[in-house]
Chains A and B, each alone.
Chain A
């Protein structure tokens, strides 16, 4: 009897040990290129609501300090996936031979960006920006730089494009009178709008040339992707589910507000500021335009070929058709 019991215990333990790897969740290391911004909220939604777990994934999320640094982490293999990285940077890195591929779109166009002035400013809209006035953007080659350039060209403005750093640096410089305009992204600084300290003069929707063009992407290290394609596909499914949850659940918006210590009043309208239609994970659109912009801004030395652009995108983790 005792021997039989021992055999059963040993056999059970053996089966458990052998079966363990089969049941272990696939680990994915994700770097979120920006925090607080609404469109980069969806991975947290997927994590908190167990959508990754449902797909048998163990996803860790860290915050990067901007696009280039986050992308570098994925290129070097210290992270597997980058979420919400500027497509211009990702395409440039790919063109330079980086092992990086886009899995999906994070946002098309820049409707969530906005520009503002102090309430007592005579500037009412972009069109009031006269020659020499500072039209703010974050850094050269950034999404805001791109948007500001497109707005300036579309409206034939003679304002001067000025790099002012992130939203907080921009606010400081505007409030202290260093620059004529500030830039931000919804829902950041919405409290100041509510309190009447600043006034919005226009949004990224006026960058007509960028409407429908993928601006931020979800990208992965191709070496990791080739070894973990199934996990990548499941991750994209979970992200899609997380995104739907963010858009459709007030509880998730409350959780978003709580996580980043935002006023819920400012967060409530985030799904309207960044409509769902521009945030769907597919298509990754307008890469031809991004390709040309990369060349014009000297990010790349020659245009990527159609074959390269095709190889660059692995929609939802699938191999390019």
Chain B
């Protein structure tokens, strides 16, 4: 059983290492310009340098914190609002199209407006991360609840369960996979927006380091900081996976 569980991880790591080695050779032999993509080994070597120069770890936690705050806000508002749209069909139908359109819009371009409202502060980052994060959560929460089997609901009613129990014991557990799909999409968009704004306004965590390294033409440093962004993403993806499993073990 353990072997079956571990195999995909091993295969994944092996594939990753093979790709890294191929890239190392391609850059080494000049097939790929080192100023555009560095050798993976150079990127690894760049980590301590970026840490010493720009406090990579400290800024990792800044971006992590901003993303966590924006995601928490998106969850706090997104799930209840999604539930509201599920309970009120007319509102649900009326707003779903608007929400989908808003989700597709490049809200990151609105950053000057947010700068005016919130100033050059972490509040701007959180607000701009919150918007693209909340929308998929709202949509998927509504969709998840709409998709709950009628049979399950009828069984609940036959047991005369209260509205509260109906929600916590039947609706929510059934909708969890769909809601978490929305959360995963939301957290990715939140992270992308936050890093993009950090890059654009030269404020905050990892995005600012990516920008600084890029403008220095320090390609290994740029990629090292991009990898740090990927680690933030991996951490959230893994974390929400664990929470989902906890909420719905089967």
Contacts and interface: CB of A to CB of B under 8 A. Distances in A.
Q: Do A and B come from one complex?
A: yes
Interface in A47-98: 68, 72, 75-76, 89, 92-93, 96-98
A226 interface: no
Q: How large is the interface on B (under 10, 10 to 19, 20 to 34, 35 or more residues)?
A: 20 to 34
A72 to B, nearest CB: 8
A140 B217 contact: no
Contact of A76 (B36, B201, B218): B36
Nearest to A171: B112
Interface stretch (A9-17, A161-169, A307-315): A161-169
Contacts of B120: 162, 164, 173, 178
Contact of B112 (A140, A162, A169): A169
A93 B35 contact: yes
Interface stretch (B92-100, B187-195, B207-215, B232-240): B207-215
A125 interface: no
B25 interface: no
B196 to A, nearest CB: 13
A168 B109 CA distance: 13
Contacts of A97: 34-35
17 contacts: A68-B214, A68-B215, A68-B217, A75-B35, A76-B33, A96-B35, A98-B35, A98-B217, A139-B202, A140-B211, A140-B215, A162-B120, A163-B202, A169-B112, A172-B112, A173-B116, A298-B53
Interface of B: 33-36, 53, 112, 115-116, 119-120, 200-203, 211-212, 214-219
Choose among B203, B214, B216 the residue with the greatest number of A CB atoms under 10 Å from its CB. Answer: B216
A298 B216 contact: yes
Interface in A135-153: 139-141
A299 interface: yes
Contacts of A321: none
Nearest to A176: B116
Given A163-B201, A298-B53, 19 more contacts: A68-B215, A76-B33, A76-B36, A89-B217, A92-B217, A96-B219, A97-B35, A162-B120, A163-B202, A163-B203, A164-B201, A165-B201, A165-B202, A169-B201, A172-B116, A173-B112, A173-B120, A299-B216, A299-B217
Contacts of B119: 178
